[in-house]
Structure 1
């Protein structure tokens, strides 16, 4: 059996060695990158933003570490109203202020974009879920509905294995070595997806984004920090919440989702039974999020 070339070719599809068909076979095409804008915020950090759709309600989407607008856009595909996607500091074209950052800084970024657009709902993914938790701890009445997908930490730091994987990604991006970045990103893919057309397309998109935009060194300390000092502060949150976790995910322990759903007064918990939710349960996930926000 012929293996695939590493890293992926520029067209995003796998190409095999040796005799046989040589034409690239592409997977699901990545969403085209839309034109974004840089906006000034009250706390002095310019943030990259994309607004899609029209009307009310307004929902803000917050990405995970190393992600961005492209990785959160699929979550809003069936959500009604205006959808606002941001890039946290240190991601994309957003500013990267000097020094180390914490979840309070990320919460300020998220709050600023939400306030500037009048968002009443929020979706947080991984790191974005942590930033959303910190915002809610500070302002428990800020949103009327929130979705927290794959929360990675609450009032305890991330597990050691998660911290190491994030450190490896940051080191690879800093090195500028495409092969090293590809190796670090490949662990995000479920084994069943690796070396498939769709897996290569995803890897190509992530590789292009990370090598083009980089990741700021101020992100390095975040895996050792906690989103909220005390989870009981979230008992005052008034928003209806949908918490989504999954079993067997080293980066997003299932117990964090359970703890978060337990402490939020108006939360519904849904647990998937295996990692790779965006690959294995994509349609169900989209329907679950849009159904909750559109209801």
Structure 2
């Protein structure tokens, strides 16, 4: 693999060093940004929301830390009915109320969006999976079906490696330096993708959002927390659940997915054999999620 470089070439390259093709390449363009709305929740925090599709059932999608609507939409591309995407506090155009924040606060955001949208099914990725777990402790019968993708933390705080990466990202975004943010975000990409047109398109989209909207400093407090005191609190959840993990992902240890699947009474666990699932197994992941939620 040739080394990752920033900034990107103006014609969408990348320009590579040494032998190899050097003609202009554009890569697949990112989806155009849809028009979102701000909704006021019962707990007084305005949250950015996007609703797509129509009919029943209605599914709410909860994103990961430092991500948002744009990166969560692909998970719902084949899901039937209404699809409700939103931004947690401190992300996008959502409010940034005074901190410190906890997973209970995130659970309130998720519950409010679900209630206002009439959602009966829920999908949570990484941070969103943790918020969903916290919500289910309070209301184990709230949803009819559940999907957890790459849960990052359950009843223990994130390990040092994950906390270091997220802290670096928050610092880079605060600096406003595109190159610093790109260096951190590029780690999200599998090595084979980082210097390809698709990889550059993804980086541009992520940088556009992070540098435009920023990230609230209050999010840093979540790095030291876990959503649950004891995973056994999930034993009251009776809804069918799908838990998806993968091996080799330092920020989303497979052990967390395994522990979550064991804690949920009616969970099915699927583990991919390598990280970067959205790049390496995108079609299978989409079909697996939609087949489960559309059942």
- Normalising by structure 2, report the TM-score: 0.96
TM alignment of 1:198-209, pairs within 5 A:
198-209=198-209
* Structure 2 match to 1:192: 192
Using the alignment, how far apart are the partners of 1:281 and 1:55 within structure 2?
Answer: 29
Q: Using a 3 Å threshold, how does the CA distance of structure 1 residues 192 and 2 change in structure 2: closer, same or farther?
A: closer
- Indicate the residue corresponding to 1:75 in structure 2: 75
| 1:16-48 deviations in Å (ceiling 9; x for gaps) | 579997664122321111000000000000000
Call closer, same or farther: CA 1:49–1:11 in 2, change over 3 Å. Answer: farther
How far did residue 4 of structure 1 move? 6.4
| TM-fit CA distance, 1:192 | 1.1
Alignment of 1:107-256 (within 5 A): 107-256=107-256
Aligned alpha-carbon RMSD (Å): 1.8
Alignment CA distance shift 1:93-1:256 (3 Å)? same
Give the equivalent residue in structure 2 for 1:260.
260
Compute the displacement of 1:14 (Å).
2.0
Contact 1:4–1:16 at 8 Å: present in 2 too? no
SS of structure 2 residue aligned to 1:220: helix
Shift of 1:73: 0.2
TM-superposed deviation, 1:64? 0.3
Aligned residue in 2 for 1:292:
292
**Distance in 2 between the 1:170 and 1:230 partners?**
28
1:45-95 deviation digits (Å, cap 9, x = unpaired): 000000000000000000000000000000000000000000000000000
Q: Which moved more, 1:272-281 or 1:16-25?
A: 16-25
Higher mean Cα deviation, 28-37 or 7-16? Answer: 7-16
Separation in structure 1 between the aligned mates of residue 120 and residue 23 of structure 2, nearest angstrom: 47
What is the CA deviation profile of residues 209-245 of structure 1, one whole-angstrom value per residue up to 9, with x for unaligned ones?
Answer: 1000100001001111001111111000021100000
Aligned residue for 2:232, secondary structure, equals: helix
* Cα offsets for 1:151-207 (capped at 9, x unmatched): 000000011100000000000000001110000101111111111111111111101
Distance 1:39 1:68 in 2: 16
Distance 2:159 2:83 in 1: 32
**Helix, strand or coil: the match of 2:34?**
coil
Q: Scaled by the length of structure 1, what TM-score is found?
A: 0.96
Consecutive unaligned residues in structure 1, runs of 5 or more: none
Q: Deviations over 1:122-172 (max 9, x none)?
A: 000000000000001110000010100000000000111000000000000
